Each structure stands twice: as structure tokens, then as C-alpha cells.
Chain A
């Protein structure tokens, strides 16, 4: 499986702020990129996936992809306490996902 690095956490943000999560990957041939949210004791829940350079927005979430820099990020706008979870970056290579270690986000009320 390919290397996927996420910014180390935990990340603590006040309610209403923007949480910024970063992910770099080693395989230049990777085609698609996924962000999952995982609450404690639960399985990963797909938030977004992106495969074209640029930004992709879905509600309060924006994924940004820069294949030249091998970098993908996730922004969470207007963070809510319910966004407190571990966020996993996953990179597709040959139809198989490689996961980063995850970044734990805590949103302070």
C-alpha cells in the first residue's frame, strides 16, 4: 500500500471556525482521493471524494486537490461540536485505498 501522511493532531478549533486538514501522498499515479469521518466506536463515513485538481464543495466541506504537489486537503467551515471526530484521508491506487493515520478534530463549544 502507498504512503499517505496526514497532519498530526489533535486539532482543536472553536465552534464556528474553519478546521483545516492536510494530507500528502507518495504515489503520483493515484487517481482519486477520499475523506472519511470516523466517530469513536463507529466505522468510517464517506464525506467527500475528489479526482480533479482544484476545489470541490459539499455543504460546509471543501476538498482541495493539487496533484502536482501530491497534496489534498479538507476544510470544514463553521465547525460544529458534531464535527468532533477523526478524519481519515485515503488515496486510491490500483482500485485499493491506502489510509493515513487520521487527524482527530475537537470542536470547542
Chain B
């Protein structure tokens, strides 16, 4: 298994500012992902964080709004840029232990409120 930590656990931000969320995994993992979960909703994949290269974004999510870094096999960051109240959500980091048949775990999430 993999233990994932995220910082911050929650934040309240002003409209137009940016927030960077950090994700740390306790072991090397093949794949890392960022998800969003809006209140009362299920999880939506934002992007796959690729080590050493640009992230792969899902439809509806763009790099300018959600820049992602992954400098090594255990760490990734997600920035939510130029925030608006619609960005208020829980952001979850996720990691897969190995390949297509590996287990996938989630971090505790970052609860973001934009005023």
C-alpha cells in the first residue's frame, strides 16, 4: 500500500489568488493523479501528473488554471490559479502502486473555500 499526505488540509482563499497543494507519497509510485470532489458529488479526474514531463489533463481542465509538477516518484504539486468561488472543492491526490493492475490510494484531501 501507499500512504499519502497532503498540505494544506484546508484553506480559505480570496478570489483571484492562487493556492499550491503539495502531495507526498511514502514510497515510489508509478502514477500520480489529481482529482476534484465537489460537495455531494463523486470524484472527477483533473490530470495525471507525469514525472519529469508535462501533466496530462482531462477534458475541461487546462494547464494555465491547474499547473501541476511532479519532480520525482514520490512528490507532486497542484496549483489552483486565479481562483473563483466555483473552485471551492476538495482536491485529492492519488497514487497507483504499479501498472494497470496496481492498487490506487487517495490522500486525505485539501478542502478549499474561495470567497
Once bound together, how far apart are the Cα atoms of A7 and B108, in whole Å? 26
Per-residue contact bits, chain A 65-104, to B (CB 8 Å; 1 contact, 0 not): 0000000000000000000000010101001111111100
Q: Which residues of B contact A36 (CB under 8 A)?
A: 106
- Within the complex, what minimum Cβ distance (angstroms) separates B49 from chain A? 12
A26 at the interface (CB under 8 A from B): no
Please count how many residues in chain B sit with their CB below 8 Å of the partner chain's CB atoms: 23
Is B73 part of the contact surface with A, judged by Cβ < 8 Å? no
Asked if B104 contacts A46 (CB within 8 A), the reply is yes
Q: Interface of chain B, helix or strand or loop or mixed?
A: strand
A61: which B residues are within 8 A, CB to CB?
A: none
Which stretch (B14-22, B40-48, B77-85) binds chain A? B40-48
Interface string of B72-108 (1 = CB under 8 A from A): 0000000000000000001010101001110111111
A62 to chain B, nearest CB (A): 18
Q: How far is the CA of A43 from the CA of B104 in the complex (A)?
A: 13
List the B side residues contacting A49 at CB < 8 Å: 103-104
Interface size for chain A: under 10, 10 to 19, 20 to 34, or 35 or more residues? 20 to 34
Our pick among B41, B58, B96 for the contact of A95 (Cβ within 8 Å) is B96
Name the residue on B nearest A36 (C-beta).
B106
Are B31 and A102 interface neighbours, CB within 8 A? no
Interface centre among B33, B41, B42, B100 (most CB of A within 10 A): B42
Distance of A45 Cα from B2 Cα, bound (Å)? 12
Instruction: Name the contact of B101 in the complex, choosing from A1, A32, A96, A101 (C-beta under 8 A).
Output: A32
A-B residue pairs in contact (CB < 8 Å), sample of 7:
A32-B100, A46-B104, A49-B104, A51-B101, A88-B42, A96-B58, A98-B45
The 3 closest A-B pairs by CB, nearest first: A99-B42, A99-B43, A43-B106
Beyond the given pairs A32-B101, A43-B108, A96-B48, 7 more chain A to chain B contacts, judged by CB atoms under 8 angstroms and listed by A's residue number, are A31-B100, A32-B100, A95-B48, A96-B58, A97-B43, A101-B41, A102-B42
Q: B interface vs A, CB < 8 Å?
A: 31, 33, 41-45, 48, 58, 90, 92, 94, 96, 99-101, 103-109
